[in-house]
Amino acid sequence: MTSCNGWTNFATWKVQLEVFSDFDLDDWCLDMLDSVELAGWMKDHVGEIIEEAAQPGLARDYALAFLSDVNWHELAQTARDNYAANDAQEELDV
């Protein structure tokens, strides 16, 4: 695997871009989860999106297989880092 746009690989970058680019932990009430729990939630969430959007068959199977290459811990840590940075900025703005 090779890195892509600063992310672990293409799969991680693509899921970040398409699903989690505007992700806010507050919107989902996930700010209390640690990174491991959040990574699991993110993986399940994207899997559910695919399961709901795609008809059973080859394309859906490939989409779900694509998720095995995603670095869920990197996505979770990024979401937590962004949450912390936004929280700190809000405190400065008050």
Chain mean pLDDT for the chain: 88
Q: pLDDT tens for residues 25-68?
A: 777 777 778 889 999 999 999 999 999 999 999 999 999 999 99
- SS3 for 30-82 is CCCCCHHHHHHHHHHHHHHHHHHHCCCCHHHHHHHHHHHHCCHHHHHHHHHHH
Can you give the pLDDT at residue 3? Answer: 85
Would you say residue 79 has pLDDT above 60? Answer: yes
pTM: 0.83
